[in-house]
Chain A
Amino acid sequence: MEAVSRKTITVDINGERYEREIEARRLLIHFIRDDLGLTGSHIGCDTGNCGACSVLVDGTLVKSCMMLGVQADGAKIETVEGLASEGELNGLQQAFSDHHALQCGYCTPGMLMSATALLRENKSPSEDEIRKSIQGNICRCTGYVNIVEAIKAAAQ
């Protein structure tokens, strides 16, 4: 094996298979947004703090600005675009809408993916568990109360 500066990678994103040649230096978030046009996942801070770029990689919640695209070769990725089906919001998205859990909406894709990861592991989380689960997601409108309410409602 030799180190390479470009590599052809294959990923499954929301059930669709993509194959692209990318540079090794390309961050996963840029691969998802710029190469594949899936712009639901956002770039907020680009320093690993804000969590707007959160996606699930093989079922694990990660910040896609702190992972290289080549590291995701062969992975199954879930982004916010995969939550709704046939134009219908899923229960979590509907709860965000019902509880006004967004103001500007910039953090929402990351919040939804963090909440998705939580609710898969924990069907009835406590308020503390909900708050800890979105600790890596910053809402700069500071609308956390409604976000927590929405996740609580979605769990019920």
Chain B
Amino acid sequence: MLLREVEYARPASVQEALRLLGANDGARALAGGQTLINVMKARAASPDVLVDLADIGELRGIELGSDGTLELGAMTTYTDIVDSAEARARPILAEVCNQIADVQVRNRGTIGGNVCSNDPTNHLPPLLVAIGATMTIVGPGGERSVSAEDFFLGVYMTAAGPGELLMKISVPPGKGDGFASVPIGKDGTCIVNVAASMVGSGVRLAIGCVDSVPVLLKPESTEDDAVRSAVQNANLDPPWDVHASADYRRHLAETLALRAVAQAAGRN
């Protein structure tokens, strides 16, 4: 497919990338390109300038702090996470990354691209909301931190605005996590996905694919009845399409919430 004409730059530093992004309103950051290049083919996105982040070393890599906090650079690929010894500190990360699409996409797709594209069917937005991740955003005015639950603003919209970059994602220590989904074919696009994470004796649930952003719920306990009523009381109004009716998505949200919570509680 012939793309619309576009300019390209591959800066070596965050400062240079920010300058390029700020110099043109039509500039967009290019991470792994596994979403952006395809939407450019469809003309659903038509950036004037692509700022390729591939050469910026400080955006890549996984560090495990002495307090157990994992810091994942925005340009870290799914394959990097699946293969990382450090990332095993929070096993759910590699487990979920290993069910995104296929080998080729996992080799180039990045954690930062996944959350910044914020497609409502993506795997990582609900997961990062449930496990209480924090995003570090850098812009012309400096750095700021935003919790995952405040990061996702709407379909394809996040707190990282024009001229800004997501630098890294920080994940607190923990192991009582679960993830359940019904995808279109194995490892395909999710019809509904649910992430769960234990916090003390309580649980945080984040449901994906049913709204423009992950729906965060905090059931009173991990008991089935408490989880069911939390999902029911959320009055979900999911979209319908050829894959599932709105009713079926509501049904899946409840069932998958039970599965994700059971997995999380079993590992706590």
Contact = CB atoms under 8 A, between A and B. Distances in A.
Interface of A: 1-5, 7, 23-27, 30, 46-48, 51, 54, 60-63, 65-68, 70-71, 114, 117, 132-133, 135-137
B43 interface: no
Given A5-B5, A25-B6, A136-B102, A62 B38 contact: no
Contacts of A135: 101-103, 186-187
Given A48-B38, A136-B102, A68 B7 contact: no
B234 interface: no
Given A7-B8, A47-B38, A67-B33, A136 B103 contact: yes
Interface residues of B, number: 34
Nearest to A51: B104
B103 A25 contact: no
Given A3-B20, A117-B103, A136-B102, A67 B37 contact: yes
A54 B104 contact: yes
A24 B50 contact: yes
Nearest to B2: A25
A28 B33 CA distance: 12
B7 A5 contact: yes
Interface of B: 1-11, 16, 20, 24, 27, 33-34, 37-38, 41, 49-52, 54, 101-105, 107-108, 186-187
Given A66-B34, A136-B104, A24 B41 contact: no
Most chain A Cβ neighbours within 10 Å, of B10, B27, B103: B103
8 contacts: A3-B51, A4-B8, A24-B7, A25-B3, A60-B108, A66-B108, A71-B33, A135-B103
Contacts of A24: 5-8, 50
Contacts of B41: 46-47
